[in-house]
Structure 1
Amino acid sequence: MDTLAHGLWAAIGIAAMQPRFAVTRTQAVAAVSLAVAPDLLQWLPLLGWAAVGGGHLSDLTTFGLALPGQEPGLPEIVALLTHHLHCIMHSAVVAGVVTALAWRFRRAMLLPLLGWWSHIVIDVPTHSADYYAVPVLYPFTQRGFDGWAWNTPAALALNYTAIAAALGWLAWRRRRRL
C-alpha cells in the first residue's frame, strides 16, 4: 500500500477507537507516524546517496514510482541497505520484539505501535512477490507472501474507495452522537 494510505488508515483507526479509548493527541500522532515510518525509513540510504554519493533527488521519485522490474539502478550498498531496512521495518518478528519490550518497559507506546502493526498487516496482502513482498518472518527468512500489488489501478481504486467509505462512516457516527 502507498504511504499516504497507511497514514490515512492509521488515522481512521485512531478516530474509530476514540469513543471507547482515551487517545491523546501525542499517541495519535505517534501511531500515524509509525504507520508511515516503514516506507519512509527505507528511503534513508537513497537520501544519503542523493546528498553525498552522486545520486539525484529525481532517483527518489523514480524509485518510489517504479513498477516491478523497472527500479532505477542503485549502487550495491544503497540497494542492500534499502532492502534490509524494508525487511526490518516490515517484519512481524522485529515489531513483536519491540512490542514485547514496550509491554515490559513503556506501556504508553503500545497504542502508537498499533500504527506500525497496521502497516505490516495491511502490506502483507497488498504487495506482490514482484514488488516488495513483505518479509514478515525476517530475519529468519526474506520470503514474503505473494499478494495483490497495491499499485495496480484496481487495487488503488478499491483502497481509496474503502478509505472514503470509512471516512464517511466516521462522519456519520460523529453526527449521530452530536
Structure 2
Amino acid sequence: MDFFAHIFWTAIIFRNQSPLWIPLLFGAIPDSTSWGVWFVQIIVTGKFRKTFKNFRKRPPDFSKLPKWVWTLYGASHSIFSFAVVFGTLSLITGKIFIPVLAWLVHILLDLPTHSREFLGTPFLWPLSDWKFPGFTWGKLWFILLNWGAIIFFIIYLFGIRGETLILF
C-alpha cells in the first residue's frame, strides 16, 4: 500500500485517539525509516535526478539500493520490532499504548498488498525472510478500490456523522 494511503487509513482507524498525530507517527514509521531515510539521502547527496531520471518509463531497479535500506525496511516492517517497541512503551506508560498499534496496522495492510516479487513485506525479520504471497498494490483496480474506500469513510465519518479529528 502506498505511504499516503497508510496515513489516511491510520487517521480513519485511530480517529478517536487524542492527539491523532501520535498514531499517525507510528503508522508512518515502517516506510519513513526505510524509504524516507533513503529519499533524504539521495536529495542531500544530489542523486535524486539521476535516480528518478527514467522513473516514468520503467520501474526503479531495487537491486541498486544500498543494503542499509533493505535492513531498515526489514526491521521497520517486522512484527518483532513492533512488539519490542509496543512492549517497551506499554511498560513505560504502565498501560497498553494504543497509538503504537498503528505500526502493526501498517504491517498488516502491507502483507496482502505487497507481492513477494515487488517489495514483499519481511514481517518475520530477522528470524525469516519468508514473505506473504500478496499482490502488487500498484494495480489500477486496487488503487481505485483502496482510495474509493478511503474517500467513502472520510465522507461518512466526517461529513455524514460529523466526527472531528484532534490532530494535536
TM-score by length of 2: 0.82
What's 1:160 paired with? 147
What's 1:146 paired with? 133
Q: 2:22 is matched with which residue: 23, 26, 30?
A: 30
Q: Does 1:86 align with 2:78?
A: no
What's 1:5 paired with? 5
CA distance in 2, matches of 1:12, 1:48: 31
CA distance in 1, matches of 2:12, 2:53: 27
Aligned AA (1:47): V
Aligned AA (2:9): W
CA distance in 1, matches of 2:39, 2:58: 14
Superposed CA RMSD: 2.6
Q: Residues 58, 24 of structure 1: CA spacing in aligned structure 2 closer, same or farther, 3 A cutoff? A: farther
Aligned AA (2:44): A
Q: Residues 98, 128 of structure 1: CA spacing in aligned structure 2 closer, same or farther, 3 A cutoff? A: same
Structure 1 residue 173, shift from structure 2 partner:
2.2
Structure 1 residue 72, shift from structure 2 partner:
5.7
Percent identity among equivalent residues? Answer: 24
* Contact preservation (8 Å) 2:86, 2:101: no
Query: What CA deviation, in whole Å up to 9, does each residue of 1:99-133 have, x standing for no partner?
Result: 11112113578222022111111001110111111
Q: Residues 45, 164 of structure 1: CA spacing in aligned structure 2 closer, same or farther, 3 A cutoff? A: closer
CA distance in 1, matches of 2:72, 2:58: 18
What's 1:174 paired with? 162
- SS of the residue aligned with 1:142? coil
- SS of the residue aligned with 2:162? helix
Matches within 5 A, 1:17-166: 18=16, 23-25=17-19, 28-43=20-35, 44-52=37-45, 55-57=47-49, 59=51, 67=59, 70-71=60-61, 74=64, 78-107=65-94, 110-166=97-153
CA distance in 1, matches of 2:62, 2:149: 32
- SS of the residue aligned with 1:124? helix
- SS of the residue aligned with 1:47? helix
Q: Residues 167, 41 of structure 1: CA spacing in aligned structure 2 closer, same or farther, 3 A cutoff? A: same
For structure 1, list consecutive stretches of 5 or more residues without a partner in the other structure: none
Higher relative contact order (CA 8 A, sep 6+): 2
Structure 1 residue 142, shift from structure 2 partner:
1.8
Moved over 4 A (4+): 60-63
Number of residue pairs matched by the alignment: 160
* Contact preservation (8 Å) 1:46, 1:60: no
- SS of the residue aligned with 2:120? coil
CA distance in 2, matches of 1:12, 1:166: 7
